[in-house]
């Protein structure tokens, strides 16, 4: 039976609530801005609805937004809690407006498109991969009442079978002047922790040329002609200046997979930001140890002078054997050396990411990671250690095949499996024994306290953070003793941590 759609009305794009970490960090929904670019340029009315701003009380405000009908509703979905919220949002929309097509896009439909219609049968279409052009073509097809839009990146079901149109293997270059920043009415509601910064995320480069065995980028970019391409430096700086002057940006967060492949490119950007005296601070999400090895003290001085206050660095492990398995192109000794170099530039926080649960990892490897964390903090007062990520085998990656062939790993199948797949959730791979599970809990919870991060990133201006700072002050000596000695018996604190996770949505609402 041919679907009949509404052929007029606005397009509504929805950003769902996140998991535990989303209570502390809430950046503006860049995915919605990008997905709507071509629609807005074509004159289509677009509205955003950010579920994160309403907590549990989202139904009434959403009812008000959709009361006059919609042409299309789109939801940006990651794995984990956003799937649960996406299902609830889809059901709500379908009950209110049965004829309005619901489209899922974002990371989960990009990496696992074949799972979406099983997870949420009420979804009508998927946009997989870069979304601005495919989503606009899909909306045009809906306007023309064409229920079978066979454009790259569009997936749907026909007679119970999946119709797949894989996305084009090219980067989506974005003209910053086309980004409809005006669709977000108030940027002050976004930020992280207690920071008053007006944060804008943007790209200075696309992709990543490296081949880390755990990462989705090499798998996704396999068919691309170039796996890393830079945005022209002057265009990047023009973009920074544009959001600072027009929307009051005070902080620019470069969310590149890897910003520092070409150091000259970054140097040109920071030199120009300094030359123009643009009053912003900078953060870089993608930095590798092998790249920091190439940075001179003069280069790091320039980064600091341009306003850089943090670099997120993929250390990943304190075991050389695991680093080799991960293909990180560095050693533990390299990590220690670059951290000592960064210690000479204290304005820049060295924020290290780690991963635990790699296939073949042993308890001794995990202890070496613990020891490296402590060494980095000792050597550099500006070091921050982020909670280690639990390894998840991602389809298409080298370690997914290892996990499947050597450990008979089975990826998530049920909706509940996908919902509980949070970075800090209690999911453990089959190669984890009980002792490793216990130690991983120690690493995860202990990482909140070993660097006194809550005192460095909050001021205690609100009741919640005053309580968290007081609790941290009282518990840190106990946590650090456990962390350093590996003493995890009677670990009741982890139960309260899990309880806090479940209650956090109410606490931070």
- Average pLDDT of the chain? 92
Q: Give the model's pLDDT for residue 463.
A: 84
Of the pLDDT bands very low, low, confident and very high (cuts 50, 70, 90), residue 452 is very high
Taking only the tens place, the pLDDT of each residue in 289-298 is 999 999 999 9
Residue 248: count of CB within 10 angstroms of its CB:
11
Q: How many Cα atoms within 13 Å fall on the side-chain side of residue 399?
A: 24
Smallest CA-to-CA distance from 21 within 363, 422, 322, 376 is with 422
Is 300 strand, coil or helix? helix
Q: Domain locations in the chain?
A: 11-164, 193-444
Q: How many Cα atoms within 13 Å fall on the side-chain side of residue 499?
A: 5
Taking only the tens place, the pLDDT of each residue in 13-46 is 999 998 776 667 889 999 999 999 999 999 999 9
299 has a pLDDT exceeding 70: yes
Smallest CA-to-CA distance from 110 within 395, 483, 448, 445 is with 395
Residues of the chain with pLDDT > 70: what percent?
95
Residue 165: count of CB within 10 angstroms of its CB:
17
Taking only the tens place, the pLDDT of each residue in 50-107 is 999 998 899 999 999 999 999 999 999 999 899 999 999 999 999 999 999 999 999 9
Q: Which CATH number fits domain 11-164: 3.40.50.10800, 3.40.50.2300, 3.90.226.10, 3.40.50.1360?
A: 3.40.50.2300
Smallest CA-to-CA distance from 478 within 466, 468, 465, 488 is with 488
Q: Give the model's pLDDT for residue 1.
A: 45
- Cα–Cα dist 432/106, whole Å: 30
Taking only the tens place, the pLDDT of each residue in 386-417 is 999 988 888 889 999 999 898 888 888 888 88
Name the superfamily (CATH) of residues 193-444. Aldolase class I (3.20.20.70)
List of residues 6+ apart from 275 with CB closer than 8 A: none
pTM (2 decimals)? 0.92
Smallest CA-to-CA distance from 432 within 366, 478, 345 is with 366
List, as one string, the DSSP characters of 78-116.
-SSHHHHHHHHHHHHHHHH-TTS-EEEESHHHHH-GGGH
Taking only the tens place, the pLDDT of each residue in 179-214 is 999 999 999 999 887 788 999 999 999 999 999 999
């Amino acid at each position: 039976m041919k679907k009949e759609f509404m052929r007029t009305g606005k397009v509504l794009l929805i950003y769902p609530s996140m998991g535990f970490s989303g209570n502390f960090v809430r950046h503006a929904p860049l995915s919605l801005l990008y997905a709507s670019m071509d629609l807005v340029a074509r004159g289509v009315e677009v509205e955003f609805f950010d579920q994160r701003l309403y907590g549990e009380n989202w139904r009434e405000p959403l009812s008000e937004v959709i009361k006059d009908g919609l042409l299309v509703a789109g939801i940006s979905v990651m794995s984990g809690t956003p799937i649960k919220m996406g299902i609830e949002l889809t059901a709500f929309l379908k009950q209110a407006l049965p004829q309005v097509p619901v489209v899922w896009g974002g990371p989960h439909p990009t990496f696992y498109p074949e799972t979406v219609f099983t997870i949420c049968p009420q979804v009508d279409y998927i946009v997989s991969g870069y979304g601005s052009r495919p989503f606009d073509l899909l909306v045009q097809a809906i306007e023309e009442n064409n229920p079978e839009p066979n454009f790259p990146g569009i997936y749907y079901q026909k007679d119970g079978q999946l119709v797949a149109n894989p996305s084009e293997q090219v980067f989506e270059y974005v003209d910053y002047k086309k980004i409809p920043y005006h669709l977000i009415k108030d940027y002050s509601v976004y930020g992280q922790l207690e920071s008053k910064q007006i944060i804008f995320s943007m790209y200075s480069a696309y992709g990543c040329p490296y081949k880390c065995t755990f990462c989705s980028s090499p798998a996704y970019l396999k068919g691309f002609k170039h796996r890393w391409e830079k945005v022209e430096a002057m265009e990047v700086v023009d973009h920074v200046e544009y959001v600072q002057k027009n929307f009051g940006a005070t902080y620019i967060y470069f969310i590149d997979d890897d910003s520092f492949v070409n150091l000259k490119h970054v140097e040109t950007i920071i030199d120009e930001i300094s030359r123009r005296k643009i009053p912003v601070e900078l953060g870089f999400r993608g930095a590798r140890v092998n790249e920091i090895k190439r940075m001179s003290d003069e280069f790091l001085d320039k980064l600091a002078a341009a306003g850089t206050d943090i670099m997120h660095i993929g250390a990943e492990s304190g075991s050389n054997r695991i680093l080799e398995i991960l293909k990180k192109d560095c050693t533990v000794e390299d990590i220690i050396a670059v951290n000592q170099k960064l210690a000479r530039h204290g304005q820049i926080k060295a924020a290290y990411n780690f991963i635990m649960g790699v296939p073949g990892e042993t308890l001794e490897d995990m202890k070496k990671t613990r020891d490296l964390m402590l060494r980095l903090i000792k050597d550099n007062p500006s070091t921050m250690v982020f909670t280690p990520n639990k390894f998840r085998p991602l389809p298409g990656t080298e370690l997914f095949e290892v996990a499947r062939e050597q450990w008979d790993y089975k990826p998530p199948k049920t909706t509940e499996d996908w919902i509980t797949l949070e970075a800090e959730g209690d999911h453990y791979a089959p190669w984890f024994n009980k002792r490793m599970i216990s130690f991983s809990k120690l690493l995860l919870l202990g990482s909140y306290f070993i660097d006194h991060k809550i005192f460095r990133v909050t001021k205690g201006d609100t009741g919640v953070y005053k309580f968290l700072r007081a609790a941290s002050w009282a518990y840190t000596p106990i946590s650090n003793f456990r962390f350093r000695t590996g003493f995890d018996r009677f670990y009741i604190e982890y139960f309260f941590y899990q309880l806090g996770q479940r209650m956090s949505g109410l606490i931070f609402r």
